[in-house]
Amino acid sequence: MSMEFIKKIPTAQEIIQEMPLPNHIKEIKKNRDIEIKKIFQNEDDKFLLIIGPCSADNEDSVCEYIGKLAKVQEKVKDCIIIIPRIYTNKPRTTGEGYKGMAHQPDLHKKPDLVEGIRAIRRMHIKALSEYHMPAADEMLYPENYKYLSDMLSYHAVGARSVEDQQHRFTVSGIDMPVGMKNPTSGDIHVMLNSIKAAQLGHSFIYDGWEIKTSGNPLAHAVLRGAVDSYGRNIPNYHYENLTYLASEYEKQGLLNPAIIVDTNHANSMKLYKEQPRIAREVLMSRKYNSTLKKLIKGFMIESYLVGGRQDVNDNIYGKSITDPCLGWEDTENLIYYIAENV
């Protein structure tokens, strides 16, 4: 057999019992969840910012960054809700390279998935306990969701996962907003089909159980741009893209139609400094078109303490080791601009 069974992974229940979330923090999260859900249910017109590092690679720098976000959140609380990105699994196109803290909690040591699970839960608990801002994570592996399910307020399904049946069905059993990204091909009908699948109830096998889900009415669209057959990035945040998606959304008759625009990835053509310009254009489209103003609920923005990216061995504190991110000064200015223009 070509698989080597290294060690048994603790169950989510065992990890949560070992590292519980304090009761008073559970209440804070519950109230924040209600605020976020109201936005997707058109009961609140606040704007969402799902913002943070491409990959959460270091507890200290990630928590320092979220501390800065928390101070800005207080200043813009009347019009913006900030959801920190604490992305603990990193998708890799070829499977090579750093796969996130859940896989490799210490950048300079070999992968250790058991310690990785503990490390990501510890980081989420610290961030939530100190700054009272429940985070977003990406559902790269559907079964890993359980280890953080009591702490997250937002989930995303990435461009390479959105066509996968297990991801769609798992989202159908999650009681929180989940953004379904368009696939790398850019086909928005694949994305809309994934939203429909997630909004329906299903019976399927999950974690060794036969389970039944009731459907997730808060599954919604995330536009992240596309890559064509020649490897060229094709943005899909322009006015024509947004109005076309709005019309297709209406044809599908999906619940709680909503769009989040990812300002990085193929939309920025990996030019991270373009993110503020892209945000400004989308905000202008919202002002021009009342339908878009209602549909476009927020942005995903990649941002960290230090702008750009680095190699693992460069050891620059607070700088991304995966995709390049906007630096803090530019991030703060962008948030204030958004607050003045939503």
pLDDT in tens, 265-311: 999 998 999 999 999 999 999 999 999 999 999 999 999 999 999 99
pLDDT above 70 covers a percentage of the chain that reads 100
pLDDT-based confidence at residue 1 (cuts at 50, 70, 90): low
- How far is residue 90's CA from residue 141's CA, in Å, rounded to a whole number? 10
Could you give the residue ranges of the DSSP H alpha helices within 93-132?
A: 113-131
CA 255 to chain centre: 20
pLDDT in tens, 150-172: 999 999 999 999 999 999 999 99
| Mean of the per-residue pLDDT values of the chain | 96
- pTM for this one? 0.96
- How far is residue 324's CA from residue 310's CA, in Å, rounded to a whole number? 8
Can you give the pLDDT at residue 236? 98
Cα three-residue angle 97-100-104, rounded to 5 degrees: 85
Residue 195 has pLDDT above 80, yes or no: yes
pLDDT-based confidence at residue 342 (cuts at 50, 70, 90): very high
Please, are residues 259 and 296 in contact by the beta-carbon 8 Å criterion? yes
C-alpha torsion angle, residues 294, 339, 317, 100 (rounded to 10)? -10
Please, are residues 153 and 83 in contact by the beta-carbon 8 Å criterion? yes
Query: Two tokens at 140?
Result: 């790269």
pLDDT above 90 covers a percentage of the chain that reads 91
Residue 191 has pLDDT above 90, yes or no: yes
- How crowded is the C-beta side of 93, counted as CA atoms within 13 Å? 6
Residue 95 has pLDDT above 80, yes or no: no
- How crowded is the C-beta side of 74, counted as CA atoms within 13 Å? 7
- How far is residue 184's CA from residue 179's CA, in Å, rounded to a whole number? 15
* Top CATH class, 12-341: alpha beta
More confident of the two residues 108 and 217: 217
Can you give the pLDDT at residue 91? 82
- How far is residue 98's CA from residue 109's CA, in Å, rounded to a whole number? 11
**Which of 16-25, 35-44, 98-107, 301-310 shows the lowest mean pLDDT across its residues?**
98-107
pLDDT in tens, 221-265: 999 999 998 999 999 999 999 999 999 999 999 999 999 999 999
pLDDT in tens, 55-94: 999 999 999 999 999 999 999 999 999 999 999 988 877 8
